[in-house]
Structure 1
Amino acid sequence: MCGIWAVFGSEDDVSVQCHAVHKIGHRGPDAFRIENIQHFENCCLGFHRLSIVDDMLGMQPMRLYTHPQIWLIYNGEIYNHKQLDKDFKLNVSTNCDGEPMIHLYDKLRVEGPDAMAAQLDGVFAFCIMDTANRKVILGRDTYGVRPLFRVHTADNGFLGVCSEAKGLLGLSHGSKNGVEPFLPGHVEVYKLDLQGRATLESRTCFNSPGQIPKYRTLASPDSNNMKENIRTLFEAAVSKRLMADRRVGCMLSGGLDSSVVAALLVKQSKELGIKYPIQSFAVGMKNSPDLKAARKVAKHLGTEHHEKIFTAEEALEIIPEVIDKLESYDITTVRASVGMYLISKYIRNKTDTTVVLSGEGADELAQGYIYFHNAPSAEEANEESRRLLKDLYMYDVLRGDRTTAGHGLEIRVPFLDHQFTSYYLSLPAEDRQPKEGVEKFLLRSSFDDGKLLPRDILWRPKEAFSDGIASAEKSWFQIVQEHCDKKINDTELEEAIKKYPHNTPRTKEALFYRKTFEEKFPEKGHWIPYMWMPKWVSTDDPSARTLKHYKQSA
């Protein structure tokens, strides 16, 4: 995980503007660099580094002696960087996975930068500055796993780019104009004038959920057996994400998603001869369902298991800090982020693991949310799954990024592997629905060969993360609601519709989150287009435990 920041066409002295880059210093605690671009007095690139690959030569902004006119800053991992070097004869000079982006941008100049982005198997948010052609190119991966915000004011040509919105709000232009999330799967090209002012030339969608990869894949679904293909592609998705010079571990809740990831991580680390034991990390209140289930999985896999046990008081106290890091007030996102933020802090302070694999994306892709049992048809369930994946960058992907990056960690999410998701979504809609009263039936049955995990783990009923970290007797959402009832009075809630016409808070908990958000990010409520809620059910609360189909595991 790293932090990128850039401004172009600043009317103010960039030496003043560039102080804003330090607002994202938590993303890259290992090194920092900022560069004023020669002959572009109003342009500046900044970078906070978390060193994962090529400690010696991986610093940014990156330039190559073969392409001195091209500057690159990016946050992400390009898993097929070695394959790209071979296929396109790039003659790379470092082990840094991002270097091929510079070569490809130059080599595919006629096809365009969207053609370059479409060749990247990985997760990324990048900013390329081409000084010879006076261009700036921005791009972001298919699911927005790596964050990117930008502000562009057409009237004066100011362009600001940052991994998090807070790095742009302090700028004289950015604070007054529309700081917005950059759309996943898109590339934008800007033309710079002699003063470095930017004009948008083009915006292209180079990839979307379910679209087949254009790059050469590292594993292919060659079998006629779809379950075998699912196993093959997902094992490849995990294998790619072991690319690191730092220690790799995994989040472990004891549910299906994190358990499958952990099991494959342990299996492949042994096959690769990795010397250190895999560390697994669980979080919860004393005797929570997730802690119990995670211990069972960890014992089966033989991981070096760690637990962060927290109290209700500890969790409630950090909510404002979590909202600041998230840049969100969505109820589900905030609730689920508290536990993940606490375990990330523990990992940073108590261990030497820097890269953590996690199970985000499985519920959206494999229809794991309990409300999918109520889908009117297979096709409507398919449409809902694709919608969730399209918007994931504003909810669970955002949560995973901010809670880990907030403590200088890098999260990797194999369930959102581009190749794996495109294959899974190509399967018949009927096969991807819940079956026999069990969500993610196809995914579970694909690994039900007795080799990876015991059946009672593989078929453990769905437990939402924000619920599983609390006790069975009293859910986390109930603890938060009781806390917010004391913080917000009835009159405030009644008047909320006047103060917040967009996403009007309907509960005291929602209003508490919104007020806390507005203190940090005034008038930015539009960053969240809607509040995440289950579909096809009648409920006022997004917690899985409020739904009729919910069944707690033993």
Structure 2
Amino acid sequence: MCGIWALFGSDECLSVQCLSAMKIAHRGPDAFRFENVNGFTNCCFGFHRLAIVDQLYGMQPIRVKKFPYLWLCYNGEIYNFRQLQKQFGFEFQTLVDGEVILHLYKRGGIEQTASMLDGVFAFILLDTANRKVFLGRDTYGVRPLFKVLTDDGFLGVCSEAKGLVNLKHSMSTCPKVEPFLPGHYEVLDLKPSGKVASVELVKFHSCKDEPLHAAYDKVENLPAGLDLETVKSNIRLLFENAVKKRLMSHRRIGCLLSGGLDSSLVAAMLLKLMKEARYNYLLQTFAIGMEDSPDLLAARKRGTETLNQNDCVGCTSEILLFLGMYLVSKYIRKKTDSVVIFSGEGSDELTQGYIYFHKAPSPEEAVQDSERLLRELYMFDVLRADRTTAAHGLELRVPFLDHRFTSYYLSLPAELRIPKNGIEKHLLRESFQDSNLLPKEILWRPKEAFSDGITSLKKSWFSILQDHVDLQIDDLLLEKAAEKFPFNPPKTKEGYYYRQIFEKHYPGRADWLSHYWMPRWIEATDPSARTLKHYKSATKE
């Protein structure tokens, strides 16, 4: 989980602009480099490194002697880099997986490069010989990328929006910052002055696509047909391969473990594969919650290291700044030596795990909404997960969003993927029923709303937070919310409370999020499952 940053066409002193790159220093605590591009005015790169592979020669921008006119700054992991290296006979100068991007581009251009990558990535590729700049991002946006591009040729690119806020150039003191679209690459012309102009934006991957020409261990020829036992076998095989390829690391591996199905499957598969590979250390797993919370009790059955937090309310401003499970990541960084952290992100979207899917009018509409959620992950859950880990220099890995696993799962008939017998993710659970990977009480444990899962059975975090917010936001403020916040006005006191904190840190930037995440097919004013009428009763309906 590194931090990348680049500017092209800036009229300001680059040493001053470099200060913007320091806003993402938390993403790479191991090293930092700031480098101007030789022969081009006002072009530069910044890189904050979290050293996962090739700790000696892995600094960026990456340049190789064979083609010194290519500059690469990238954040991510390319899981099929060794297969591609062997397939095309590439001679690497480093051990960094991302170097394959340079070789692929030199061999076949940007379109072939982007389509052949199996992994998660965000990159800036500069070709000074042909005066081109290329931006690219993985299918689900697991690795973040934001950009500023103005009409007068100024381009700023960064792993986080905060690294582009308040940049100065001749056109504006506050250019618009936008997320770069997942599954796309962009081609830009580079002028001698360093100014750029966009040529084309191309979609190269959708959630149903697989990377081209990627070699896969054990799963080259999946059994065909729709026999249920074959389907379940394929799901197990593809999931195992998704976890296995993500073991690529020279640093210690850990796992977030809530006690629910998704993270438990990831952790159990990690344990199996690490044991088979004879790792010389034990897998560390981590959970957060109050002493008698359901998630914590379930996680402890799996031997998890737990973090009790009874004072989370006072931390909401700090948490919101980085988003997500900030506190447990902080604990991991300070108290352990685990750096590469696995999690179950993406499973709910892929396998229709949210409780509101019980209310889908038809299997076909459930499928459509599942795919919508996957397309929008980069604005919601994977963005939160990125901030969770990157805030403390950790690297997140998400096997449920593996290309081949997701494309296979989405190819299955709609009727197979919907909740069954009142149980969400029924197909996923059933696939591992006889695998001995998880005990049945964990495999078939009903989904908990996050607010209930992490806090006391006596009083939910949802209730604790509502009590706190009621003291901060009165009814009159909420009534006039649309006047103060005309774009995406908050509908609840809790939403108003968060919006105030966001505006404090990022004033006038609310349009970064096009809409709120909300359940479908039901009347809901809050995204939390805790507020839904059918919560905990779905199995009876």
How far apart are the structure 2 equivalents of 1:443 and 1:213? 23
Contact 1:255 1:457 in 2 (8 A): yes
What does the per-residue CA deviation read over 1:209-228, in whole Å, with 9 as the maximum and x for residues that have no partner?
11233232413461240110
Change (3 A) 1:16 1:444: same
Determine the structure 2 residue equivalent to 1:32: 32
Superposed displacement of residue 170, structure 1: 2.8
Aligned pair 1:400/2:385, yes or no? yes
Determine the structure 2 residue equivalent to 1:264: 269
What does the per-residue CA deviation read over 1:436-488, in whole Å, with 9 as the maximum and x for residues that have no partner?
11000000000010511111110000113343111223222222221111111
Aligned pair 1:276/2:281, yes or no? yes
Superposed displacement of residue 175, structure 1: 5.2
Aligned pair 1:141/2:146, yes or no? no
How far apart are the structure 1 equivalents of 2:215 and 2:428? 21
For residue 193 of structure 2, give the secondary structure of its aligned residue in structure 1. coil
Aligned pair 1:157/2:153, yes or no? yes
Counterpart of 2:390 in structure 1: which amino acid? A
How far apart are the structure 2 equivalents of 1:186 and 1:82? 23
Select which of 486, 492, 508 maps to 2:493.
508
Determine the structure 2 residue equivalent to 1:126: 123
For residue 91 of structure 2, give the secondary structure of its aligned residue in structure 1. coil
Superposed displacement of residue 417, structure 1: 0.5
Aligned pair 1:489/2:457, yes or no? no
How far apart are the structure 2 equivalents of 1:228 and 1:240? 19
How far apart are the structure 2 equivalents of 1:536 and 1:227? 29
How far apart are the structure 1 equivalents of 2:451 and 2:248? 30
For residue 194 of structure 2, give the secondary structure of its aligned residue in structure 1. coil
Aligned pair 1:240/2:236, yes or no? no
What does the per-residue CA deviation read over 1:383-424, in whole Å, with 9 as the maximum and x for residues that have no partner?
000000000111110111001100110110000001100000
How far apart are the structure 2 equivalents of 1:26 and 1:508? 31
Contact 2:166 2:174 in 1 (8 A): no
Q: Percent identical across equivalent pairs?
A: 58
How far apart are the structure 2 equivalents of 1:167 and 1:131? 24
Determine the structure 2 residue equivalent to 1:435: 420
Superposed displacement of residue 320, structure 1: 1.3
How far apart are the structure 2 equivalents of 1:79 and 1:261? 17
Which stretch shifts more, 538-547 or 193-202? 538-547
**Structure 2 residues not aligned, in runs of 5+:** 225-229
Which stretch shifts more, 450-459 or 409-418? 450-459
Determine the structure 2 residue equivalent to 1:16: 16
Determine the structure 2 residue equivalent to 1:301: none
Determine the structure 2 residue equivalent to 1:249: 254
Superposed displacement of residue 549, structure 1: 3.1
For residue 444 of structure 1, give the secondary structure of its aligned residue in structure 2. helix
How far apart are the structure 2 equivalents of 1:552 and 1:132? 63
Counterpart of 2:408 in structure 1: which amino acid? Y
How far apart are the structure 2 equivalents of 1:177 and 1:170? 8
Determine the structure 1 residue equivalent to 2:168: 172
What does the per-residue CA deviation read over 1:53-83, in whole Å, with 9 as the maximum and x for residues that have no partner?
1111111111000110000000100011100
How large is the Cα RMSD of the aligned pairs? 1.4
For residue 344 of structure 1, give the secondary structure of its aligned residue in structure 2. helix
For residue 62 of structure 1, give the secondary structure of its aligned residue in structure 2. coil
Superposed displacement of residue 40, structure 1: 1.2
Aligned pair 1:87/2:72, yes or no? no
| Counterpart mapping for 1:168-317 below 5 A | 168-173=164-169, 176-218=174-216, 219-220=219-220, 222-224=222-224, 225-298=230-303, 305-311=304-310, 314-317=311-314
Counterpart of 1:92 in structure 2: which amino acid? F
Contact 1:70 1:131 in 2 (8 A): yes
Aligned pair 1:467/2:452, yes or no? yes
Contact 2:41 2:192 in 1 (8 A): no
Contact 1:78 1:123 in 2 (8 A): yes
Counterpart of 1:361 in structure 2: which amino acid? G
Provide the TM-score with structure 1 as the length reference. Answer: 0.94
Change (3 A) 1:528 1:177: same
Contact 1:463 1:552 in 2 (8 A): no
Superposed displacement of residue 87, structure 1: 1.4
Determine the structure 2 residue equivalent to 1:425: 410
Change (3 A) 1:256 1:76: same
Change (3 A) 1:488 1:445: same
Aligned residues: 529
**Structure 1 residues not aligned, in runs of 5+:** 299-304, 327-336
Counterpart of 2:207 in structure 1: which amino acid? P
Which stretch shifts more, 541-550 or 50-59? 541-550
Contact 2:83 2:215 in 1 (8 A): no
Change (3 A) 1:343 1:135: same
Contact 1:29 1:48 in 2 (8 A): yes
Provide the TM-score with structure 2 as the length reference. Answer: 0.96
Aligned pair 1:114/2:111, yes or no? yes
Superposed displacement of residue 293, structure 1: 0.4
Counterpart of 1:183 in structure 2: which amino acid? L
Contact 1:150 1:181 in 2 (8 A): yes
Aligned pair 1:46/2:43, yes or no? no
Superposed displacement of residue 272, structure 1: 0.8
Counterpart of 1:545 in structure 2: which amino acid? R
Counterpart of 1:322 in structure 2: which amino acid? I
Determine the structure 1 residue equivalent to 2:227: none
How far apart are the structure 1 equivalents of 2:166 and 2:187? 24
Counterpart of 1:3 in structure 2: which amino acid? G
Counterpart of 2:98 in structure 1: which amino acid? G
How far apart are the structure 1 equivalents of 2:449 and 2:402? 22
Contact 1:297 1:457 in 2 (8 A): no
How far apart are the structure 2 equivalents of 1:217 and 1:289? 41
How far apart are the structure 2 equivalents of 1:442 and 1:318? 38
What does the per-residue CA deviation read over 1:108-144, in whole Å, with 9 as the maximum and x for residues that have no partner?
13xxx13201111100000011111111100000000
For residue 478 of structure 1, give the secondary structure of its aligned residue in structure 2. helix
Determine the structure 1 residue equivalent to 2:332: 347
Determine the structure 1 residue equivalent to 2:534: 549
For residue 147 of structure 1, give the secondary structure of its aligned residue in structure 2. coil
Determine the structure 2 residue equivalent to 1:525: 510
How far apart are the structure 1 equivalents of 2:434 and 2:537? 24
Superposed displacement of residue 541, structure 1: 2.1
Contact 2:290 2:455 in 1 (8 A): yes
Contact 2:492 2:526 in 1 (8 A): no
Determine the structure 2 residue equivalent to 1:329: none
Superposed displacement of residue 379, structure 1: 0.3
